[in-house]
Structure 1
């Protein structure tokens, strides 16, 4: 889980980097989560 905070000037960049569209709209903070698997052999 990751929490991010950015200023108004970065809002367009934050939304542009999301493949699913502008998920954060005009907000200047947001939380994202994911799942990671790692293998060693």
Structure 2
């Protein structure tokens, strides 16, 4: 169970970072289900 929690946290961090980059570049956000497999 702990591994899943860690993986989700890592994945959320990656998504949040890429979302911030997308907002900064004013580009459309990637689809969560397609780009990231959490």
TM (norm. structure 2) is: 0.30
CA radius of gyration, larger in: 1
The answer to which structure has the higher helix fraction is 2
TM (norm. structure 1) is: 0.29
